[in-house]
Amino acid sequence: MKKQNYLDFVHGILSSEEDFLLFKEFYQKRLPKSIKLIQSRICGKEIEAFLKDRWWKFYLPDFLASSWNSFDDVKCVENIDVKSLWSHSFHNAWLFYIQEISAGLSAQVLGVEKWDVVLDLCAAPGWKTVQLADRLLNLWGWHVFANELSFARRKALVFNLNRCWLYNTSILWYDWVSVGDLAHEMFDKVLVDAPCSWEGMQYKYDKNVVYWDQVGAEKLAKLQKELLLSWLKALKVWGELVYSTCTLNPYENEWVISYVLEQLWDRVELINVDIKWKSFWLEKYLDKWKAQLVARFWPHIQKTWWFFIAKFRKLKSLSNTAKVDERFLKKSEYDYSDSLRSRVVDYLMEERGVICDEKYQFFASKDFVYVKDNTEINNKWLFIEKQWIPIIKLWFRWDFIPQQWIVTVFWNAMSKNIVELDYESLQKISDWSDIPWNYWLEGKFVCVKWNSIWLFLAKQVKNLLKMKL
Ligand SMILES: C[S@@+](CC[C@H](N)C(=O)[O-])C[C@H]1O[C@@H](n2cnc3c(N)ncnc32)[C@H](O)[C@@H]1O
């Protein structure tokens, strides 16, 4: 099949000529900037007050402000350019990150509650996992398992979860097809943010892309169907699953949903994505009543990134052919010795004032010392790739250089070498430059705080606090 001009393709989907003209006007326009605050680390009001002082204005777009549910985890920001957002010290300290409004909705629509065990199937680089885990931490709740097949992307996932301090997460490394059987009916909530043809992103950034590849989209749709069937197995009966993509083509959205409903008509039901202003529905690809339950987001209607969300509830058990994964951690590659433990424990006491309890396990590779929280999760079947956090760099195998993650793990136990910034100094570091600091901790690594917010590790060199280590 020949590749089709993208605009012709969209023309075919949209409901009227007027709609199409509007789409053409908007589809490559700049969208409002929006951010997600890490609310388990900071009190939203406190940071908003600080940022407002710098003339930032927060607001929810009309289509969310008028909704009866409060979907306010991600907010638009006015009076700011992307460069200033990126270089802001709160961004460098991972107190917020830049997130598109529509992309931030799927995790919110999933509606995670305190005792939910949650699975994020296609997790990397992890922005939705961060939202899910942040919400659970705020509720003093349970745990998120984040699955990702690609090795490189999994590294980014672990990195992002660590830097946002989300320790209530475990990383899985599975192809989605096998997980449904391995983790049969283990999860209360599942998020499937499926790999898709990604055209929302493509057309936003590359004005030269003109074709739309229907064959590619149909291949992806085949994969997405497989994926949904497998992951519905992993869901508990009465559990809920959200399926989302950042494409607007119906092959990867309504078609996939329609297939799953046909196959499992007596075991799952589609439930309403409860957003008031969802745009029109596409009856050609999914039965009219069902099509009204899913949500599509268009750049010319809601003025946000192209996105699609559908939500399922599982009504009856699905069969499985239970398998067990018997991979084990190769302990021999690491130093788990008591002497390493006592050196680390002494160092933490001396330099950070941390009294370390038994729940932390330490081990070293040739470059880093890692820590792992020993809290066990009730799981018989899945191999959990350890979420090791590197806290100390080994210099010539012996000297200890602390890493930013040391603050991530031990912030609430630290009592030594702490620097409290006042409001004025905080304003100064907002562009990530070093700040003059007359203090007596020459050559020391210090933990920087403002109010009750732990920011990051810095080093005092002469009369400066150096932010970049
Ligand atoms: C749309 S992205 C996920 C974005 C992520 N949810 C976020 O918010 O940052 C889809 C992910 O699925 C992963 N993936 C692709 N094939 C997979 C498979 N067979 N099993 C598991 N994950 C897969 C891709 O590597 C990619 O990282």
Q: Is 59 helix (H, G, I), strand (E, B) or coil?
A: strand
Residue 215 pLDDT more than 80? no
Whose Cα sits closest to atom 1 in ligand 1? 195
Please name each of the domains of the chain with its CATH number: 4-314 (3.40.50.150), 331-400 (no CATH), 417-466 (2.30.130)
Cα(353)–Cα(362) distance, rounded to whole angstroms? Answer: 17
CB 154 less than 6 A from any atom of ligand 1 = no
CB 128 less than 6 A from any atom of ligand 1 = yes
Q: How far is the CA of 178 from the centre of ligand 1 (A)?
A: 15
7, burial (CB in 10 Å: exposed 0-12, middle 13-18, buried 19+) = middle
Mutate to test the pocket of ligand 1, among 148, 201, 244, 252 (most ligand atoms within 8 A of CB): 148
Q: Is 57 helix (H, G, I), strand (E, B) or coil?
A: strand
| Band of residue 309 on the pLDDT scale cut at 50, 70, 90 | very high
Whose Cα sits closest to atom 17 in ligand 1? 149
Q: How far is the CA of 194 from the centre of ligand 1 (A)?
A: 6
Residue 193 pLDDT more than 90? yes
Across residues 26-50, what is the average pLDDT? 82
CB 353 less than 6 A from any atom of ligand 1 = no
Provide the sign of the torsion angle of the four alpha carbons 254, 257, 262, 267, taken in this order: negative
CB-based contact 281:291 (threshold 8 Å):
yes
Residue 373 pLDDT more than 70? no
| φ, ψ at 87 (rounded to 5°) | -90, 0
Average pLDDT, the chain: 83
Question: Residue 151: which H helix or E strand, with range?
Answer: helix 151-163
CB-based contact 309:109 (threshold 8 Å):
yes
Residue 377 pLDDT more than 60? no
The model's pLDDT over 163-174, given as tens digits with 9 standing for 90+, comes to: 888 888 888 887
Total count of residues recorded for the chain: 469
Cα(275)–Cα(72) distance, rounded to whole angstroms? Answer: 12
CB atoms within 10 A of CB 162: 22
Q: How far is the CA of 275 from the centre of ligand 1 (A)?
A: 25
Task: Find the range with the poorest average confidence among 7-11, 109-113, 141-145.
Answer: 7-11
Using alpha carbons, select from 244, 243, 248, 221 the residue that is nearest to residue 313: 243
- Which pLDDT score is estimated for 139? 92
Radius of gyration of the chain (CA): 24
The strand pair at 187-193 and 268-271 is best described as unpaired
Mutate to test the pocket of ligand 1, among 122, 222, 223, 308 (most ligand atoms within 8 A of CB): 122
Cα(62)–Cα(101) distance, rounded to whole angstroms? Answer: 12
CB 175 less than 6 A from any atom of ligand 1 = yes
Q: How far is the CA of 30 from the centre of ligand 1 (A)?
A: 26
| Band of residue 326 on the pLDDT scale cut at 50, 70, 90 | very low
- Which pLDDT score is estimated for 468? 65
* Nearest atom of ligand 1 to the alpha carbon of 126: 9
Q: Is 24 helix (H, G, I), strand (E, B) or coil?
A: helix
| Band of residue 327 on the pLDDT scale cut at 50, 70, 90 | very low
Task: Find the range with the poorest average confidence among 30-34, 292-296, 318-322, 458-462.
Answer: 318-322
Joined together, the tokens standing for residue 202 give 């493509």
- 164 tagged catalytic: no
More confident position, 35 or 88: 35
Q: What percentage of the chain exceeds 90 in pLDDT?
A: 28
Across residues 299-317, what is the average pLDDT? 91
- Which pLDDT score is estimated for 384? 64
